[in-house]
Structure formats: C-alpha cells, structure tokens
C-alpha cells in the first residue's frame, strides 16, 4: 500500500476523520495563529539551523542504534536493535519536541510556557528547554504522579519551573491536562501551551510529529548503513503516540517495513485497569480533537491505568487512529507483568535500564522475535531510560 504522508494532516488538521479543532472559536483563532507562525518559521534557515545545532550539541543527536545481541540470543530469533533515545539529554525522546516548542514560543514573543506532565518526563524536558531558551515555565502534575515520580519533581524545581499539583479527579495525567488547559485559557495570547505528545487540537499533532520525526529519519539512515536493508519490524510504545510517530514517519512509504505500536494492557484488557485506547476505544472527542477514546456511555473519558505513568491517557494521537484504520500500522498490547519482565530482562542482559513506557515495546519484540528467522530484524524505539522507575520497580519486585 502506498502512503503519502507529506500532505497529512489537511489544512483543517484532519488525518482522515481524526484530529481537527474541537474548540471554542476564540481558541481556534489562537491555534490558527500558532499554525501560521509554525508553518512560516519552520521553513526558515535560521530556525532549522538553531534547532539542528541544539539537537546535535545540546541533546547529543544522533542517538545511536544498538544491536542487543544477548537479548536477541535469549529471544531466539530475529535480531533486535534499539534506537537509543534513552541516551538523549534529559533521558527520553521528549526533549526533541520540547526544544522545538520552546523555540517557537520564543519566536512568537510568548512570555510563559504551560504544560501538563504524567511521568514527569515532559515536565523535565520542557523545564529544561525553557531554562535553555530563557522563558517562564509552569507545569501541572497529578498528585499521584508527583508521589510516584519524585526524582523528576525535584528536577523540575531545580530547573526553575513553577510546579502546580493537581488534586482533582483521578489525580493523574488526564486531570493535569484539564488543569493546565484552564490556566492557559486565562491568557492564551501571551502564553503557549506546550502539548507533550501528538495530541490536542491542530496544529499540535502535526508540530510534535514533525519535531519527533528526526528519530525515524536518523534510524532509517543508520539502519541502512549498518545492515544494508531496512528492518522487518519497527516498534514503539504508544501513550499519546509521539515517540511512535517519531519513529514511524520516515518509514511510512516503505511498504516492506511492518510497524507495530504497543499499548499498555495494564492489569488486563478484560479489566478496567488498562489504557489500550486504539485496541478497545471508540471514536469521540477529547482535549480538543477527534480520536479513539476510552470513554463511558456518555462520552466522558474513563479513568485509565498503566504501570507506566507516561502511557495512561484515555485518548491517542489522531494520526495513529488513521494509520490503524488504513491498516498501515498494527496496534498490539503488553500488560504490566510482561512490561516488568522486559524491564528486568533488558537491564540484566544488556545493562540498559529502560523506562517502563519503553519496556512495553521491548516486551512485544521479545514476544515475536522467537517466531521470526535469524536473518530478520526488529528495531525498537527505546523512548527513555528507567532511572525514574528504578525505585518503584525495586519495591514492586521486592529487590
């Protein structure tokens, strides 16, 4: 199947029937301003060079591709490779879009950048980018996540951002989004809402994807150079879907490359405690855009769950919804138990402690590699490192 991703989304921000701007008219004007500023600035050499220089000298790009030989041996089939986004400054892929968003906010003359955070990774990456660019930063975070992700909370404070604890509702990511968005609506002219994934109203799914697409562009060239061919399968975990879109975008036209997004099955797909939005969800609107949703009978978002805070979101990026419907990407799940097993296995066989989010993709690769030929290959986007999860996992497993 051929897939031309360049024109996606259309001018109204739609990927097929998903995306768009499900927002009040005054906010639509603001979003259209951001879209116009983005479309204009991303073409300029000055912006491209500034971002490229920061990606190289600040973040440490390109991140390497690593052949995980001991993991491959244990899985007993296809060769498993890792795209090492965990080695980026701040420890995850999120710095890729945070630098882009902070630079754009500065370019637009905004005085404050606002955001929500789940695992704290987006908060740390954004607070980092704002410190670098020299712009005020305010982060909203659920109280449950604040307890669970203590090291990231401390880092955000050190980096100089204002941290707002969110005590309403589920006290996790979904309510942090609502809280940050309400604050943003008080002054959308002077502030910039830096969304942490390929979600939200147009143009955010497009912008965040574009800033993340460097992951796949690098990976595709690196893999071709090292292996002389493209990978048979590329895979990434899917929460909102930014690291997955980052990897997938450069491969969309490569029909021979199978793409697999991995959602969190949590305690099981037959329990309410999961966040497998594409697998179990239905169509609806959330946070200003149309996508698959985990919702109740009245269209309200369900309280979702994953062992990985960064994946427990009841919506998902609109481009993923489209790619699922046209069957260009396959969406699978991994549960908490498989995720913990993958976390420990990668740590002990390769000396690489993955983020619990990324461990979902590792779990999927371990599951399928054994039934593939030894000359076949799987490339995993290792979206982040597991320092933030180490204490939590040790306690959970009684280490």
Ligand X SMILES: *Cc1c(COP(=O)(O)O)cnc(C)c1O
For the CB of residue 186, give the shortest distance to ligand X in the complex, in Å: 26
The binding site for ligand X (CB under 6 A) comprises 92, 94, 119, 121-122, 197, 237-243, 310-311, 355, 357-358, 383-384
Nearer CB in complex with ligand X: 104/361: 361
For the CB of residue 257, give the shortest distance to ligand X in the complex, in Å: 19
Q: Are 205 and 15 in contact (CB under 8 A)?
A: yes
**What DSSP string runs through 112-123?**
EEEEEESSSHHH
Please report how many Cα atoms fall inside a 13 Å half-sphere around the Cα of residue 82, on the Cβ side. 27
Report the chain's C-alpha Rg in angstroms. 19
Residue nearest to ligand X (CB): 384
For the CB of residue 117, give the shortest distance to ligand X in the complex, in Å: 8
Q: Which helix (H) or strand (E) holds 192?
A: strand 191-193
Residues sharing a CB contact under 8 Å with residue 293, sequence separation 6 or more, in sequence order: 277, 281, 282, 283, 284, 285, 286, 299, 301, 314, 315
For the CB of residue 227, give the shortest distance to ligand X in the complex, in Å: 25
C-alpha dihedral sign at 366, 371, 375, 381: negative
**Other Cβ atoms within 10 Å of 164 Cβ, number:** 15
Residues sharing a CB contact under 8 Å with residue 155, sequence separation 6 or more, in sequence order: 120, 124, 127
For the CB of residue 398, give the shortest distance to ligand X in the complex, in Å: 24
Nearer CB in complex with ligand X: 110/209: 209
Nearer CB in complex with ligand X: 301/384: 384
Nearer CB in complex with ligand X: 115/378: 115
Residue that has been written with the tokens 């799940």 in this structure: 333
Q: Is the peptide bond before 203 cis (omega within 30 degrees of 0)?
A: yes
Nearer CB in complex with ligand X: 185/344: 344
Where does residue 180 rank: exposed (0-12), middle (13-18), buried (19+ CB within 10 A)?
buried
């Amino acid at each position: 199947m051929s897939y031309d991703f360049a024109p996606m989304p259309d001018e109204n921000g739609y990927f097929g029937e998903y995306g768009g701007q499900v927002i009040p008219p005054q906010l639509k004007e603001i979003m259209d301003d951001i879209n116009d500023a983005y479309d204009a600035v991303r073409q300029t050499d000055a912006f491209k060079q500034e971002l490229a220089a920061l990606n190289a000298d600040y973040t440490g790009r390109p991140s390497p591709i690593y052949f995980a030989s001991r993991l491959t041996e244990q899985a007993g089939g296809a060769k498993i490779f890792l795209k090492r986004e965990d080695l980026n400054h701040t420890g995850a892929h999120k710095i890729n879009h945070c630098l882009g968003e902070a630079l754009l906010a500065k370019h637009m003359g905004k005085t404050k950048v606002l955001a929500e955070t789940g695992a704290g990774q987006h908060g740390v990456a954004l607070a980092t980018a704002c410190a670098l660019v020299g712009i005020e930063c305010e982060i909203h975070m659920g109280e449950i996540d604040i307890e669970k992700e203590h090291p990231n909370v401390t880092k955000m404070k050190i980096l100089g951002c204002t941290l707002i604890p969110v005590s309403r509702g589920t006290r996790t990511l979904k309510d942090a989004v609502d809280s940050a968005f309400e604050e943003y609506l008080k002054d959308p002219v002077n502030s910039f809402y830096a969304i942490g994934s390929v979600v939200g109203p147009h143009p955010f799914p497009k912008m965040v994807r574009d800033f993340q697409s460097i992951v796949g562009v690098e990976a595709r060239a690196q893999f071709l150079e090292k292996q002389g061919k493209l990978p048979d399968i590329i895979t990434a975990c899917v929460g909102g879907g930014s690291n997955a879109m980052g990897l997938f975008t450069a491969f969309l036209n490569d029909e021979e490359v199978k793409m697999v997004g991995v959602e969190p099955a949590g305690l099981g797909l037959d329990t309410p405690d999961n966040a497998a939005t594409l697998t179990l969800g239905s169509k609806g609107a959330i946070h200003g855009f149309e996508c698959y949703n985990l919702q109740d009978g009245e269209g309200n978002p369900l309280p979702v769950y994953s062992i990985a805070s960064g994946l427990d979101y009841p919506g998902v990026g609109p481009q993923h919804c489209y790619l699922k419907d046209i069957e260009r990407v396959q969406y699978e799940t991994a549960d908490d138990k498989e995720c913990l097993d993958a976390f420990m296995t990668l740590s002990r066989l390769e000396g690489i402690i993955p983020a619990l989010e990324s461990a979902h993709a590792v779990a999927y690769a371990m599951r399928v590699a054994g039934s593939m030929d030894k000359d076949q290959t799987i490339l995993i986007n290792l979206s982040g490192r597991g320092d933030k999860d180490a204490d939590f996992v040790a306690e959970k497993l009684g280490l």
